[in-house]
Structure 1
Amino acid sequence: MKPRNKKQQHIVELSGRLRPLSTPQMQWALNSTINHYGYRLKSGMCTCMKCGHEWLETRNGMCLCPECGTQIEIKDTKERVIREKSYFNIITTIEDYQVVRMFLMIVEMRKGMKVKPAYLEIGQYFIDPKGNKTVVAIPRTLGCYVDTFAFSAPLEIRNDGDAYMYVSDQWVYPRIKVTDTIKRNGFKNSVHHIHPVTMFQELLTNPKAETLMKANEIGLLRYLCARPANKSDIDKYWNTIKIAKRNGYKVKDPQMWFDYIKMLERMGRDLNSPSLIAPQ
């Protein structure tokens, strides 16, 4: 859809200024986000499906390609082609926006040939300093799968949806660039297997998320970002969490711990008692 206001017009302009994928980013995606195989014939001749190198291999399971050094899984088969795809994200900034860029990598590996993957940008999440998000992306088409996109369509302002939230929760390139505000609020170069869009929004708008991040309570932060009902639990039992933290208690399983706290509450017990809320 066309930009409806000056903010959306500015975001579309910023989207056009984002840099293309770099060689290290493409190489990381190829090496880390898909599985690699060696196809072996009955004669014992094995072919690395990544670089096309052939050698005599007698081992089973995992091994290293002697040519490119990639860890591959040996498969005894006469197949000659593998088709793989993966989604990955590049987290960066432009001006005062936190940006999560979503990419699709499509790989067709042919026996005896060096792989040549193709990359396509699915879209971008722009998160402003107030935690509001704007999606610039290609549209999703009708279909029974979540990730069905119109690859020939341009990147435009879109309504957020499950497809974009799904793609933005996949592999994350380890070199992450964040705004000064998010860095000040405790972020330290890892999303900790938390949805990056949700985590950045919470760090920008929720002081409790900032406190959990700075206190290294990653389990509770992951619990908070998982769904709105969990966020309500954090708000309701915040004083209990702080008492447990002051007494050196580490919440290893937030779901189990909150079930336990709710049980104490139903029994009419004191939720400010360290001996109860921070059990051995």
Structure 2
Amino acid sequence: MKPRTKLQFEVLGQSRCLPDKENEMLSWAKVECLEHKGYATKTRVICMDCGEKFSPELVRRKRAVCPHCGAKLKVEQSRRTTDKQHVYVATAGIYGEFQVIRNFEILAYYRTSEAPRYFIWEILQHWISPNGKNTIVARNHTINWYCDSWNGNMEIRTEYRRHYYSSNVRYDIYPHKLHPGSEFKPEYRRYGIDHRLQGITPLEAITCIPENPKMETLLKAKQYDLLGYSIDWRGVVERYWPSIRICMRNKYKVKDPNMWVDYLGLLVYLHKDIRNSHYVCPSNLKKAHDRLVAKKRMIQEKEEKERKRRKAIEDEKKFRELKSKFFGLQFTDGLIRVRALESVQEFLQEGDIMHHCVFTNEYYLKPDSLILSAMIDSKHIETIEVSLKTLKIVQSRGVCNKDTEYHDRIIGLVKKNINLIRQKLTA
């Protein structure tokens, strides 16, 4: 868009006079930001940095030094002969009264036996005035489900922050690294903001850290992952701040803040002390997290069983009113004994033993269903449902709802004795 205010005219004018940094940024990014890869098969390794081949004998623990260009490569087993990389890099500088963050996009294309091709262009500038106002000079950023590209000329752009502690990602990208020659104003350096910044974008750091001492502490403690997490989940960081301080005192780096916060929630659930370094600084976070998940699941299962027991007691009276006329009903063919379930507790036991939903789906409260249990000695074989409207067998299920070798025999035995059910029903 065209500049409209005095500030925008001033920023755009200074932007057009900025020194060219593309060659400097590319030379640095080739070494420090782009990955140095080698693709290996049994007979050769291709160095993507120069396109040349060398013997796999030079590879040690998936690492190698290219004998042609001297690049230190990370070697992958692959038959690929081409590659592509895309990174954002940034540099910070002071121009007049403005703190300026300049962002560059780098594309690299690699092919066997060819020198790599690199493309770099400046895509975004943040001009931050002394009063904290940010003026954006950028190319148009098209971002959607299908596309993420920069195009057009460097112009004044506007956008609105989605929420207080984060700017819209359309014109605030996260750079892979900041150039080591970056300069920040003294008031920003005082908060620990320099070229080593990680976890958040430079704009987020300049905007948020001066307003939030806890974020400043995280930055100076190099808790970069927690710092990035605090942008979107400030309330969570506030809630667990004493535990975070314990981590910092013990020089414990939280590398997966999502899992770590979930882990603290599990500690709270299990009534553990989240101000004790033994709990909040686990040597193996995933293992400790999974162990507490298993404990919580066991507790929930116990609570569910207790809930079922209480519900069974509450439903027992209604069940007796519906099905007491069938109590004592049983028949056998000499091997298999079929009997009616006579209490809600028996439904619970039947469901647990057979691993099906006879209790969960409250079959004991269905007025038109009669539930029978087929057994050999004391072993439960199948659970049978008979319709009291039609006196037909609705279903007969073994363990995990599977048919057993006795399925047809059980069906035949129930059909043979259906008159016993009819007699109980009409009594």
> What TM-score does the superposition give when structure 1 sets the normalisation length?
0.73
Q: What one-letter code is carried by the residue in structure 1 that aligns with 2:121? A: L
Q: In 2, are the aligned partners of 1:91 and 1:99 still within 8 Å (CA)?
A: yes
Q: Distance in 2 between matches of 1:257 and 1:46?
A: 43
Q: CA deviation at 1:157?
A: 0.9
How far the C-alpha of 1:204 sits from its partner, in A, is 3.7
Paired residues for 1:182-261 under 5 Å = 182-210=188-216, 213=219, 221-225=227-231, 227=232, 230-232=233-235
Bigger radius of gyration, 1 or 2? 2
Question: Structure 2 stretches of 5 or more lacking a match?
Answer: 160-167, 279-427
Amino acid at match of 2:122: E
**Would you say 1:162 and 2:165 are equivalent positions?**
no
- Give the CA deviation at 1:278: 5.7
| SS of aligned partner of 1:9 | helix
Q: CA RMSD for the aligned pairs?
A: 3.9
CA distance 1:218–1:75, change in 2 (3 Å): closer
Q: d(CA) in 1 for partners of 2:194 and 2:111?
A: 40
Q: Which amino acid aligns with 2:178?
A: Y
Does structure 2 retain, via aligned residues, the 8 Å contact 1:25–1:173?
A: no
1:54 equivalent in structure 2:
53
Query: Residues 181-218 of structure 1, C-alpha deviation per residue, up to 9 Å, x if partnerless?
Result: 10123335421322221111123444554455557666
* Offset from partner CA, 1:242-264 (integer Å, 9 cap, x none): 9x67x957786577579969x98
What number of residue pairs does the alignment pair up? 263
Aligned equivalents of 2:117, 2:14: Cα separation in 1: 30
Equivalent residue letter for 1:77: R
Query: Paired residue for 1:77?
Result: 79
Aligned to 1:27: 27
Greater RCO, CA 8 A, separation 6+: 1
Q: Which moved more, 1:115-124 or 1:211-220?
A: 211-220
Q: Give the aligned partner of residue 127 of structure 1.
A: 128
In structure 2, C-alpha distance between the alignment counterparts of 1:250 and 1:57, rounded to whole Å: 40
Identity, in percent, stands at 25
CA distance in 2, matches of 1:216, 1:54: 40
**Residue equivalent to 1:272:** none
Following superposition, the deviation at residue 117 of structure 1 comes to: 0.5
SS of the residue aligned with 2:104? Answer: strand
1:50 maps to amino acid: D
Secondary structure, counterpart of 2:171 in structure 1: helix
Aligned-partner residue type, residue 35 of structure 2 = N
Amino acid at match of 1:231: R
Structure 1 residues 97 and 235 mapped into 2: Cα distance closer, same or farther (>3 Å)?
farther
The residue that corresponds to 2:87 in the other structure is: 86
Q: Partner residue of 2:38?
A: 38
Structure-1 residue corresponding to 2:178: 173
CA contact (8 A) 2:139 2:154 kept: yes
User: Given that residues 146 and 163 in structure 1 are in contact (C-alpha distance below 8 angstroms), is that contact kept between their aligned partners in structure 2?
Assistant: no
SS class of match (2:150)? coil
Q: Could you tell me how far 1:59 is from its partner in structure 2?
A: 5.1
CA distance in 2, matches of 1:4, 1:241: 49
- Partner SS, residue 67 of structure 1: coil
Give, in angstroms, the shift of residue 139 of structure 1.
0.6
Partner residue of 1:270? Answer: none
**Residue type matched to 1:9 in 2?**
F
Amino acid at match of 1:68: C
Aligned pair in 2 of structure 1 residues 188, 21: CA closer, same or farther (>3 Å)?
closer
Aligned mates of 1:64, 1:212 — CA distance in 2: 37
* 8 Å Cα contact 1:52-1:112 kept in structure 2: yes
SS in 2 for 1:51: coil
Equivalent residue letter for 1:125: H
Please state how far the C-alpha of 1:77 moved relative to its aligned partner.
Answer: 2.5
